[in-house]
A and B are shown apart, each in its own frame.
Chain A
Amino acid sequence: SAVISQKPSRDICQRGTSLTIQCQVDSQVTMMFWYRQQPGQSLTLIATANQGSEATYESGFVIDKFPISRPNLTFSTLTVSNMSPEDSSIYLCSVDRDRGITEAFFGQGTRLTVV
C-alpha cells in the first residue's frame, strides 16, 4: 500500500480565511483525489488531480472555492478558500496505485473546523 501523509492533521480557522492542505505520497502516482467527509456523512469526491493538467472537479465543487495544485507525481495541495462554517469537514487525500484497477488508499485526513 502507499504511504500518504497529510498536513495539517487538524485546524481551527476563522471564517473568510483560507487553508491549504498538503498531501505527500511515498511513491509516484498518476492519480490523486481529494474527498470531503462531512460530519456523519460519507466521502464525497471533490476533484481529481493529475500531474501536468488542470484538476477535474465534480458537480457542486468549483476551482475558485477549492483550488488544487499538482506540481509533481508525489505531491498535491487543496486550498479551501473564503471559508464558512459549512466547510467544517474532514478533507482526505487519496491515491490510486496505477495498477489499471481502482484501488484507492487514503491519508489520515485533515479535520477542519471553521468558526
Chain B
Amino acid sequence: QKEVEQDPGPLSVPEGAIVSLNCTYSNSAFQYFMWYRQYSRKGPELLMYTYSSGNKEDGRFTAQVDKSSKYISLFIRDSQPSDSATYLCAMSAPGNTGKLIFGQGTTLQVKP
C-alpha cells in the first residue's frame, strides 16, 4: 500500500466548474500538507500549504485537511483553461527532514 494515494484521473471539466481533487494517506505522523501544480515540461509549483485540520483559502483555491480521516482535498472554483495541469498532493515526513512524499498526481483538463 502506498503511503499517499491519489486518483491519477484524467479529470475533464467544463470551464467554470468546481473541481475537487483528493488524496488519502496512511501515516498519521504526517505534519504538513501541500498541493503542487505541474504544467507540462515544467517543475512542480507550490500552490497551497496547510498544517492543521480545517480549510485554507487562497483566491479560487481551497485546501482542506481532515486528519481524523487522513484525507486532504483541493477545491478549485470557477475553473479556467489555464488550470489545466497535473495536481500533486505532498506530505512532509516526520522529523522536519524536509522530505516530501507525493501522490501520483491528478491530470486536470478544463475545456473552454
Question: A25 to B33, alpha carbons, bound, how many Å?
Answer: 24
Other-chain contact of A106, B6, B32, B43, B51 (Cβ < 8 Å):
B43
- Are B104 and A103 in contact (CB-based, < 8 A)? no
A15 at the A/B interface (Cβ < 8 Å)? Answer: no
Q: Which interface class (under 10, 10 to 19, 20 to 34, 35 or more) fits A?
A: 20 to 34
- Are B96 and A102 in contact (CB-based, < 8 A)? yes
Interface SS, A side = strand
Question: A99 to B13, alpha carbons, bound, how many Å?
Answer: 37
Residues of B within 8 A of A111 (CB): 41
Other-chain contact of B102, A6, A43, A107, A108 (Cβ < 8 Å):
A43
- Are A104 and B43 in contact (CB-based, < 8 A)? no
Total contacting residues, chain B, CB less than 8 A: 27
Residues of B within 8 A of A100 (CB): 96
Residues of A within 8 A of B103 (CB): 42
Residues of A within 8 A of B21 (CB): none
CB distance from A30 to the nearest CB of B (A): 8
B60 at the A/B interface (Cβ < 8 Å)? Answer: no
Other-chain contact of A102, B8, B88, B100 (Cβ < 8 Å):
B100
Most buried by B among A42, A94, A96: A42
Other-chain contact of B46, A6, A42, A48, A103 (Cβ < 8 Å):
A103
- Are A103 and B41 in contact (CB-based, < 8 A)? no
Residues of A within 8 A of B45 (CB): 106
Question: A92 to B104, alpha carbons, bound, how many Å?
Answer: 16
A28 at the A/B interface (Cβ < 8 Å)? Answer: no
B59 at the A/B interface (Cβ < 8 Å)? Answer: no
Leading 7 A-B pairs by shortest Cβ distance: A106-B43, A102-B92, A96-B98, A42-B102, A31-B98, A108-B43, A43-B102
